[in-house]
Structure 1
Amino acid sequence: MSVSYAKQVAAEKALGLLRDRLANATRIGVGTGSTVAKIVELIMDDPGLARAMRTARVYASSLATLLMLRRYGVEAYSYTPRGGLDVYFDGADEVAIGDGECMLVKGRGAAMVREKILAYNSRYTVIVVDESKVSSSLGEKGKPVPVEVLEYALEALLDELNALGVRAEVRSGCGCRDGPALTDNSGIVVDTWPWGVVEPSQYEALLDRLPGVVGHGLFIGYADAVVVGRGEGGAAVYSCRRTRRNPAL
């Protein structure tokens, strides 16, 4: 079975998991990516959930998501509200699940900082992926950890990461423009490969303290559940140990 079929299965399972929360939510957060787009499509095909989406206040993690939602007639917003979100759903580029801990790599769409803000400020966060995104440990698939960096700090950051043995490259050649990839915050995207050099939790701590780093694509402890769609049909739901949430919620 194809990856697209597995995404469809994952989206359908996620919709079942989220149905009651979406129907009763007043504030909904929506992530970025093809799996998220599939979930939104299913929501808008359901008259009751479509009405709930158009009635609630909906917050998008990227300009791409905001425009998609508005095409469906949803009045979406591009900020995080006071009081947080009732529910947030998103995808991921890689997921490792073990002993209740769900570790993610996100940011292929360069929306990782806004996605993390929404996830942190949501009472319930669900990540939805197909089985091709699942690893026994992060880094197994060789995907980079994207880092959003201020231009002012870019070259110093590259030097520091390279000195630590971490491969770090400014993302470019994205196809829509010449030059480096920029986020919706106008930060520069640096793709990094810490695998085999620094453990994920240590790398997270390092990036969080480096001046000039706006944010990064390591998500450790941000999800309440992960939904995985499988190519042979069916999907699994994994509960996660949530450790990152705004305590004011």
Structure 2
Amino acid sequence: MISGDAFLTASPAKRAAAERAVELLRPRLLEAERVGVGTGSTVAAVVEALLRDPELSRALRGARVYASSLSTLLLLRSHGVEAYTQVPGRGLDLYFDGADEAAPVGGECMLVKGRGAAMLREKIMAYNSRYTVIVVDESKLSSRLGELGKPVPVEVLEPALQPVIEELRARGVRAEPRLGCGCRDGPALTDNCGVVVDTWPWGVIEPMEYSSLLDRIPGVMGHGLFIGYADALVVGRGDGGSEVYECRRRWRNPTL
């Protein structure tokens, strides 16, 4: 998470992404009652860009806001925005978040998320949101998922840690517990107290197949493959330009 003024200190591409996201979010935010906010430095830039706009600042402060992580909760509260973490039963009107890698392929926005170890809570919010926007800078854009070599984080319940790692390795997937997070000795833990295991399935298992596999393994709490969870993808460029990709949404709570 960027500290200080996240918008002004962000890269030109990240600022361009945040500015375009503000344009896209404006009409929905002005009518939203319940807003979800993701995790990461790009999200921090979007939050601060929204708060710099008087009309949108009033709208965000007037809505009931939900944070996908403790770090986002603290960020919002540092700006005087009251926020909560338990997703309401009625779902969210709007949710925005970032990604570690984004591949818009054939109308499908395929994402790798979870560098901030909030992937399970982020997926809960995306699934329970009527409209989900992903915001990235051009360094996160790829033509096919895995092209950037980013790991797919997997959140694992501690008693299942070794069986999960051994099964993935037996299938040819590199799997390593994330260490050295800088805040404590030992493996990185999520806000849910799950252990973060970074995995590299690229060239071994296709993303859709890998997502289905992880969903079936007991002890896997969640993972960072998001395929079909977004409605729109905003990409900012270093020259100040930006693009918006419309995404085919696969997964949404049907009761919304």
Match of 1:226 among 224, 233, 240: 233
Match of 2:52 among 38, 45, 50: 45
Q: Is the 1:130–1:228 contact (alpha carbons within 8 Å) kept by the matching residues of 2?
A: yes
Corresponding residue SS for 2:11:
helix
Q: 5 Å matches for 1:166-185?
A: 166-185=173-192
Measured in 2, the distance between the counterparts of 1:31 and 1:11 equals: 13
Corresponding residue SS for 2:76:
helix
Q: Deviations over 1:40-79 (max 9, x none)?
A: 0011111111111111100000000001101111110011
4+ residue segments displaced more than 3 Å: none
Give the superposition deviation at 1:161.
Answer: 0.4
What is the one-letter code of the residue matched to 1:114?
A: R
Q: Is the 1:3–1:231 contact (alpha carbons within 8 Å) kept by the matching residues of 2?
A: no
Corresponding residue SS for 1:135:
coil
Q: 5 Å matches for 1:12-91?
A: 12-91=19-98
State the partner residue of 2:200.
193
State the partner residue of 1:239.
246
What is the one-letter code of the residue matched to 1:232?
A: D
State the partner residue of 1:159.
166
Q: Deviations over 1:94-116 (max 9, x none)?
A: 00111101100000000000000
Q: Deviations over 1:6-38 (max 9, x none)?
A: 000000000000001111100000000000000
Q: Is the 2:14–2:137 contact (alpha carbons within 8 Å) kept by the matching residues of 1?
A: yes
Measured in 2, the distance between the counterparts of 1:45 and 1:241 equals: 31
Q: How many residues align?
A: 248
Q: Is the 2:39–2:97 contact (alpha carbons within 8 Å) kept by the matching residues of 1?
A: yes
Q: Is 1:92 paired with 2:103?
A: no
Q: Deviations over 1:167-221 (max 9, x none)?
A: 0000001112110000000000000000000000000000000000000000000
State the partner residue of 2:17.
10
Measured in 1, the distance between the counterparts of 2:183 and 2:31 equals: 39
Measured in 2, the distance between the counterparts of 1:115 and 1:41 equals: 20
Give the superposition deviation at 1:233.
Answer: 2.0
State the partner residue of 2:4.
none
Corresponding residue SS for 1:159:
helix
State the partner residue of 2:155.
148
Measured in 2, the distance between the counterparts of 1:83 and 1:59 equals: 13
- TM-score using structure 2 length: 0.95
Measured in 1, the distance between the counterparts of 2:49 and 2:14 equals: 12
Q: Is the 2:155–2:197 contact (alpha carbons within 8 Å) kept by the matching residues of 1?
A: yes
Corresponding residue SS for 2:154:
strand
Q: Is the 1:101–1:221 contact (alpha carbons within 8 Å) kept by the matching residues of 2?
A: yes
Q: Is the 2:10–2:45 contact (alpha carbons within 8 Å) kept by the matching residues of 1?
A: no
Q: Is the 2:16–2:237 contact (alpha carbons within 8 Å) kept by the matching residues of 1?
A: yes
State the partner residue of 2:223.
216
Q: Which consecutive residues of structure 2, in runs of 5 or more, have no partner in the other structure?
A: 1-8
Percent of pairs identical after alignment?
Answer: 72
Measured in 2, the distance between the counterparts of 1:79 and 1:140 equals: 34
Measured in 1, the distance between the counterparts of 2:59 and 2:232 equals: 22
Give the superposition deviation at 1:3.
Answer: 7.5
Measured in 1, the distance between the counterparts of 2:54 and 2:230 equals: 28
